[in-house]
Amino acid sequence: MRTAGYNTVGTLSAGLGGVIIARAVGPTVRGEYAAITAWFAVLLMAGGMGQPAALCFYVARDPSRAREYVATSRSMMLVTGLVALGAGMLLAPLLAHGSTAVSSGYRIAFGASIISLVGASYTYSLQARDISRWNVSCTVQPVIGLAATVVLWRLGLLTLDAAILVLGVSLLMQLVWAYWSCRRVGLVPGRTCPALVRPLATYGAAQIAALTPAALNERLDQLVLSLTVPPADLGRYAIAVSLTWLPLTAVSAIGYVAFPRLAAEREATAATRRLQRLAILSSAGLTLAVLVPLGVTAPWLVPLVFGAAYRGAVPLIWILIPGGVFLSCGQVIGNLLRGRSHPAVVAWAQGLAVVFTVALLFALLPFLGVYAAAIASTVSYGITTTVMLRRLLHLPAHARGSGPREPRSPSGRRNVNISITQEEVRRLEISG
C-alpha cells in the first residue's frame, strides 16, 4: 500500500503535468511530444538491455555481491546506451519528418537517455535493497517535472523543447537522489566485475526478449501513428491512452513488491501461491475501480480538463478501457513470472501479442485510423495477459525456469540447496 501510494503521487504528478502541456500547446504539439516520448522509451529499452530487472533480481538473490552487481550493470548500460544514443541522433531528422524544431526535441530527449540509464543502475538496485527509498526515487522525477512545468507555464515559456528539457532535468535529479540513497544503504561504491557480466547479460537477454515485444505492444500504436496520421490525431489518442493507463502505476506497485520477494525464494510454497493470487485479484479490482468511473464520466470530463479540442478522445477511451484492465493485470503477472525466474514466458506471450497487433494495425488502419490502434492495443493486451496467467498458474513448485542456473559442483551435479548448506556450515563453525 505504501508503494502504491508513492506510485499514485507520481502518476498524479505526471498526469497533471501532461494536462498542463496539452492545454498550453494544443493537440498538434501534444502529438509531437507523444511521438518523441514514445521513441525515447524505445531508446531506453534498447540501451538498458534488460539490466534494470536483472540488477534487481541479482541484488535480491545475492546481496553479498550487490555493490559489484551495481557497478557492473552500470558499465554495461553505459556501453549499450552510447550505441543506442548514436543511432537515435542519426534517426532524429527522419522521425521528425524534416521539421527542425521537432528534430531538436528528439535530440534533447535522446541525449537525456544516458542520464536515465545511469540512474536506472541505482534506482533498480534500491528496489531489491530498500523499497521505501526506491519509492521516493521513482517519485522524484514526476514531482520535479510537474513543478518545472508549472513554472514554465506561468511564465509563458512552455514549448516543445522546454517540455523535453524538463524531462531531462527531472531525470538528472532522480539520478542524484538514487545515488545518494544507494550510498546510505551500502550499494555504492563498487567495482566492475567481469565475472558478473555473463549472468547479468543472460538474465538481461531474456528480459529484453520480453521487453521488446512488451514495448511494441505498449508503444507500437503511437509509433505507427507518429508516422501515418496528423499530429493532432496522435495528440488526442495520446490523451486517451494516458487516461486509461491511470491505474497502471499504482497497480504495478503490487508486482514491484512481489518481484524481489519471489526472486529471493528457492521454491514455491503455499505462501507463494497466496501472494500470487492476492496480487492478481488486487490488480484487477483496483484497475476496475478507476476505469469504470472514467468511462462513465469521460464525455464531460475530457473537454473540461483538456479542452474542447480533445473531445475526439472520448470514443478512444471507451475502446481502450478493457485494454487498460488487461495491461495493468499483465504488468503484475509479468513481474510474478520474472520473480519465479521465468522471464522467457513473458517474452513469448508478448511476442505472440505483437503478431496480433501488427496484423490488426495493417488490416484496420487504412479504414479506421486511430480507432484501429485502440482496437489493436486492447486485443494484444488481452492475449498477453491470458497467456501469462495460464502459464503462471501451472508453474511447478521447483521450476527454475529460464533464469540463472544454480551452481554446480565439480562433479557436474547441481547443488540445489547450496545456500542452505553454506549457512549450516557457518553454524557448525560457530558452534565448533
300/21 Cα distance (integer angstroms): 20
Place of cell 525464494: 265
Hey, what's the torsion of the CAs at 181, 336, 374, 8, to 10 degrees? -40
Residue 82 included in any domain: yes
Residue 260 included in any domain: yes
How many separate domains does the chain show?
1
Residue 35 included in any domain: yes
Residue 428 included in any domain: no
Contact 149, 21 (CB under 8 A): yes
Q: Identify the sign of the CA torsion 326, 329, 333, 334.
A: positive
Q: Is 316 helix (H, G, I), strand (E, B) or coil?
A: helix
pTM of the model: 0.62
19/35 Cα distance (integer angstroms): 16
Which positions ≥6 away from 386 have C-beta within 8 Å?
Answer: none
Contact 247, 42 (CB under 8 A): no
Contact 187, 125 (CB under 8 A): yes
Q: Specify the pLDDT at position 422.
A: 41
Ranges of H-type helices in 270-408: 270-306, 313-339, 343-368, 370-393
pLDDT, one tens digit per residue, over 204-222 is 887 776 666 666 666 777 7
Residue 412 included in any domain: no
Residues of the chain with pLDDT under 50: 399-432
Cα-flanking dihedrals φ and ψ of residue 4, to 5°?
Answer: -60, -35
**Side-chain half-sphere CA neighbours of 162 within 13 A:** 19
Residue 173 included in any domain: yes
Q: Identify the sign of the CA torsion 370, 374, 380, 383.
A: negative
**Strand partners for 251:** none
Q: Specify the pLDDT at position 268.
A: 66
Parent domain of 248:
2-402
Place of cell 478501457: 321
Residue 427 included in any domain: no
Residue 151 included in any domain: yes
pLDDT, one tens digit per residue, over 355-390 is 888 888 888 888 888 888 889 889 988 988 998 888
